[in-house]
A = this chain, B = another copy of it.
Amino acid sequence: EALGEGDEAFTVVVLGASGDLAKKKIYPSLFRLKQNGWLPSKFSVVGYSRSHMTDEEFRARVCSHKDAENLSTFCPNNHYVSGNYDSVDDVRKLSAEIAKYEAQMGGKRSNRLFYMAVPPSIFVPTARALRQAAMSPTGWTRIVVEKPFGRDLESSRLMQRELGSLFAEDQIYRIDHYLGKEMVQNLNILRFSNVFLRPLWNHNYISSVVITFKEDIGTEGRAGYFDHYGIIRDIMQNHLLQIMALVAMETPVSLSSEDIRDEKVKVLRAVPPLSAKDVVVGQYDGYLTEPDVPADSVTPTFAVARLHVNNTRWAGVPFILRCGKALNERKAEIRIQFRDTANFLFPGALPNELVIRLQPNEAIYLKIMNKAPGMSHDLVQSELDLTLANRFTEAQAQLPDAYEHLIRDVIRGDHSLFVRSDELDVAWRIFTPMLHELEEGKKKPIQYPKGSRGPSEGYQMMVENGFRYTSSDYKWPNA
């Protein structure tokens, strides 16, 4: 796909350039995109934030540790401008600077991508300033926005309404970086190009779907921010629900962004809102003594929720979303457990499971029963496995970071992996009642030790929803 023809100049403006996200994710991704030839040939990168820095100071910050060759092609196109985000005057100056670089690059049209890595509180004012003073006069203008998209249905609607009055829906790219992960992108291909999954993908064969995100670290200095949102808003309501939508949605009529997002909205509308009884929440020991955390905080750092999809395909199948910090391991995966009914010939057989491992060590594996090799007639649990790092050459298996993938999609104008306004709305509709109940103290978080598997009540909920833990003898060999 064309990433901008030769006669179009492209500028990406990173608002919040001095922040963590910019440093850890956005600049490295831009750099690799350049390195791999995915940036338009006429490009410039403009950092913008309140701090005063020269271009050189800024480059030193974002261009260190790079190989020589690319330093010479990527870094010189990096610029820095300082100003207030919500000041129309400052933003007008920014625009003038951009225009200067655009003039240098030449080209018939100049396209501008504003990456909004700014705090949620100044999000809308910043967008307003951009709208007033920094739109591209000749090419497209797109904005990338990062969660949090509000705190609940009401605040989200307010934000989207305001944003919608400033930019058209197709100019807005709401990023959910989980959608950029290799194995998440693989989901549609896996589901819709493999006939063998078709008759299985429904309540007659699937017993439960568990979508897990586990971190082995705590809030790591972000405790103040985190405490304001909690794990459900930070991970579950967006990342995990987006993955669930991709797992559960019906076949779209085409692979276009809009058709896929129509299906995601459709399936999420069939999910009844959660209440506090559908969730187990936890908080790791020591969280309350972290800086900026109120001593009486009830913010969950761990949560397991059980959702249902009230349609023909999924009637009665629990979807378990679970996520937590400071746990025993770092892992994200989708685990689809099949029913084990009618195994009268082999009563000891364990249910099949299809596991899509998102990170680390991306893989798909299908747990099966097999004959124990040799003289024995016993069953043994094993798996049909596709671990990317084992199967593909090193070059192939070196997967791009999700941000890299997504920024490229913005440049290409592909909305498939971004969250549409109505998706956001339906996601908040599901979670808001439960979040409010939690905040009203209807359910207190259960303490759990750092480095543990979280409170046992989480496991309990899975078992009550039919999840069968398989024998402790089994271990995926590539874990």
Query: Taking beta carbons and an 8 Å cutoff, which residues of A are in contact with B?
Result: 36, 38, 182, 185-186, 188-190, 192-196, 198-200, 203-205, 250-255, 262, 266-267, 269-270, 310-313, 315-316, 338-346, 349, 351-352, 354, 364-366, 368-375, 377, 379, 382-386, 388, 391-392, 396-400, 404-405, 408, 477
Contacts and interface: CB of A to CB of B under 8 A. Distances in A.
Contacts of A399: 373-374
Nearest to A33: B375
A203 B252 contact: no
A386 B368 contact: yes
B199 A200 contact: yes
29 contacts: A36-B375, A38-B375, A182-B371, A182-B374, A188-B345, A192-B345, A193-B343, A193-B346, A193-B349, A193-B369, A195-B338, A195-B342, A196-B338, A196-B366, A199-B200, A203-B342, A251-B312, A252-B345, A253-B270, A262-B266, A312-B342, A315-B342, A316-B341, A364-B370, A365-B384, A375-B404, A382-B386, A384-B386, A391-B477
A36 B375 CA distance: 10
Nearest to A368: B194
B315 A341 contact: yes
Contacts of A38: 375
A339 B196 CA distance: 9
A396 B373 contact: yes
Nearest to A372: B396
Contact of A384 (B200, B250, B385): B385
| Minimum-distance CB pairs A-B, first 9 | A384-B384, A315-B342, A199-B199, A193-B349, A193-B346, A193-B369, A186-B371, A312-B342, A196-B352
Contacts of A379: 189, 193
Contacts of A189: 346, 369-371, 379
Given A253-B266, A312-B342, A372-B396, 8 more contacts: A189-B379, A190-B371, A194-B349, A195-B338, A253-B270, A313-B342, A373-B392, A385-B385
A194 B367 CA distance: 9
B385 A386 contact: yes
Contacts of A366: 196, 366, 384
Contacts of A312: 198, 251, 342, 344
Number of copies: 4
A344 B386 CA distance: 25
A406 to B, nearest CB: 11
Nearest to A263: B266
Contacts of A262: 262, 266
Nearest to A313: B342
A192 B347 CA distance: 10
A400 B371 CA distance: 13
A344 B271 CA distance: 11
A198 to B, nearest CB: 7
A373 B349 contact: no
B375 A388 contact: no
Contact of A195 (B188, B252, B341, B386): B341
Contact of A368 (B190, B315, B375): B190
Nearest to A389: B373
Which of A188, A193, A251, A366 gathers the greatest number of chain B CB atoms within 10 Å?
Answer: A193
B190 A196 contact: no
A177 B312 CA distance: 30
